[in-house]
A and B are shown apart, each in its own frame.
Chain A
Amino acid sequence: MTDLSKTPETTLAKDGAFLSVRDLKVHFSTSDGIVKATDGLSFDLERGKTLGIVGESGSGKSVSSSAIMGLHRGTNAILSGEIMLDGVDLLKVSNEDMRKRRGRDVAMIFQDPLSAMHPYYSVGNQIMEAYQVHNDVTKREARKRAIEMLDRVGIPQPDRRVDDYPHQFSGGMRQRAMIAMGLINNPSLLIADEPTTALDVTVQAQILDLLQDLQRDFDAAVIIITHDLGVVAEMADDVLVMYAGRAVEYGPCKEILTNPEMPYTWGLLSSVPDLTASTEAKLIPIRGNPPSLLNPPPGCAFEPRCDHVAKVGGDLCRTVLPELTPAKSGGNHIRRCHIKNADEVYEAEILPEIAPDLVED
């Protein structure tokens, strides 16, 4: 057990996972000091599986996924660690090699499809471009493929809509087109950065269904970045909760959602409105704001906002950063918290607040 707590990654690491991120650090050097946007992140993902990365704005979700895409190259970001995709370390390959992998092996779709598409080029032009850069095909073939993909993602009359501009598409259709663009080269890893945040609720469900459907067809690994736990519950096999650039809880989706053992995850769960829950259920926001990632304090980053510091005693939370340790509930569930009996605290204090009907059962 002591071994495990020292290198907690081993509890989840399966050697030669399709995507294996180890101790990823993304630091930005600014005039005020070093901003540790991502500070030691590790996770694994297999083909056909989905990882949900959850956290507030500024917790390092997007920065980490941009690192996988190699989008920090040519900026002042300092990266270290390991991103093994299919046996190749993406942090070690040349810029040109990384460029060729972008869009072909790893693709990304973004939060706001209106700003993520160039307003001056037609949707078809932008999708064709994504295909042509990795495939030596004629314009006609690329166009045919683009229409196929638009059809596949459920755009009606794709042969006509292919020449439309992004502003002529609805929000949901734009996101479908972005997905078509992302999947046109059959990538083995798709990163969806808050793909439904900018969309209507009704459209959100359609887009999530589409993503799941396509994931099955393409057998791709999917990372879905979100702050919506509903999306995670729907989509993810594994969940990684991030706070202040670090993983604070990581494990199978069901485990994390039913037996969370980290006060920040509790806070996230308490903040989710549930339409079907009893009217007694409270919606409790997490107080305070995410900390600055510039010169973070030595202890637990969540300590200033945590309501459970007293349960630990002493200065521990403020002075010592808790390690990722296996959760009480077992399985492949790890969490970063000093509270020893977090599972009991959750059952006794948190669950009755957010889901009273569950406790009575």
Chain B
Amino acid sequence: MVAYIIRRVIVGLLMLVAMSFIVFALFMKNPVDPAQFSCGKNCPPERIEETRQALGYDQPLLVQWGAFAKGVVVGREYPADEAMREANPELVTECAAPCLGYSQQLQMTVNDEIAEAAPVSISIALVAVTIWVVFGVLFGVLAAVFKGTLVDRGVVGATLSLYAFPTFFVGALLINFVAIKWGIFPAPGYVTIAEGGVGEWLLQLMLPGFTLAAVYMAGYVRMTRAFVLESMSEDYIRTAKSKGLKGGKVLFKHALRAALTPLVTMFGLDVAAVLGGAIITEDVFNYYGLGKLAVTANETYDLPTIVGLVLLLGALVIIANIVVDVLYAFIDPRVRVA
């Protein structure tokens, strides 16, 4: 098992190296001049040249990528050009390992950007994941138990219609009615735990959390329903029943346990995805998380930020996959031995 995990981690790291290179290459092959973009609209040619040097865009692709990779491992200093650093020591910015780059547009290191935005995304993700897993699995089990009845159709229908609405629509609807017209929740605005305590923090996260959960919940309801129904028809369920076990024990100990494997797989990937930022939800509620950061970086052609976010998301997905594989071993003893 340990050897397996080590192997997976090494493969994961190689994938990250490849990903960073591909993002670099794609970015540089683009006809838009990133230095021009960083510098702004009314930038004189010599300033553009300066910016190009400061960001290292004057170097060949491989050299740039090498400097970036080195920065991730040991950290680096900005501006990228050594002569510029010596000429203006007051402008030098330290970027400690793992340095993901420096954004000229935002005038800060990508690490700092992420450190600022990540708590917002993590908070929204936490609330959303809790809502969709608890209610998704609960409703899914309900629908399976009452298969074919009004409960089943109601639950599946309701979650599907919620899923069918675009996220920005659900979000806007919630802001307009629940927050503004009815005043059940305060108008959205992110509050840290340090500022407002856990209660206030959670309260401000309910609407975006629910909006994001609405997207995922339908999938979990349907998957849970399908897998519970599937395992309820297995032979070992008949065995459990013929032992005289109570209905609840048959359902939760025997049927749901078997349905857990596919749910955990889905869960791992979804969590990784929402931790990397919920673009639409964050945009609608104007919460400055990783999703909104990514949108802004794309609009302003901010290469270092884009590369940093792509790598972060990639790393999250890779980690989630490894964690899911390790979880399999806990769920299914057949995996443990093999």
Contact = CB atoms under 8 A, between A and B. Distances in A.
Interface of A: 69, 71, 99-104, 107-108, 110, 112, 115-122, 126, 129-130, 133-134, 165, 167-168, 178, 181
Contacts of A107: 242
Contacts of A168: 337
A129 B250 CA distance: 11
Nearest to A118: B236
Interface of B: 234-236, 238-246, 249, 254, 257-258, 331-334, 337
The 7 closest A-B pairs by CB, nearest first: A103-B244, A102-B244, A115-B235, A103-B243, A118-B236, A130-B243, A165-B333
B333 A99 contact: no
Given A99-B244, A99-B246, A134-B244, A167 B334 contact: yes
A117 B242 contact: no
B235 A110 contact: yes
A231 B176 CA distance: 74
Contacts of B332: 119-120
15 contacts: A71-B242, A99-B244, A103-B243, A110-B239, A116-B239, A118-B258, A119-B258, A119-B332, A129-B245, A133-B245, A134-B244, A165-B333, A167-B334, A178-B239, A181-B239
A117 B236 contact: yes
B244 A104 contact: yes
Contacts of B334: 119, 165, 167
Contacts of B238: 71, 110, 116
Contacts of A119: 236, 258, 332-334
Contacts of B245: 99, 103, 129, 133
Contact of A102 (B243, B249, B258, B337): B243
Q: Is the interface of B mostly helix, strand, loop or mixed?
A: helix
- Most chain B CB within 10 A, of A100, A102, A104, A178, is at A102
Contacts of B243: 102-103, 129-130, 133, 181
Contacts of B244: 99-104, 130, 133-134
Nearest to A125: B253
A118 B246 contact: no
B258 A108 contact: no
A44 B43 CA distance: 100
A152 to B, nearest CB: 18
A69 B240 CA distance: 12
B235 A120 contact: no
Nearest to A165: B333
Given A110-B238, A116-B236, A165-B334, 8 more contacts: A101-B244, A102-B243, A117-B236, A126-B239, A130-B244, A133-B249, A168-B337, A178-B239
A122 B246 CA distance: 20
A116 B241 contact: no
Contacts of B241: 71, 102
A89 to B, nearest CB: 18
A181 B242 CA distance: 11
A104 B245 CA distance: 11
Contacts of A165: 333-334, 337
Contacts of B235: 110, 112, 115-116
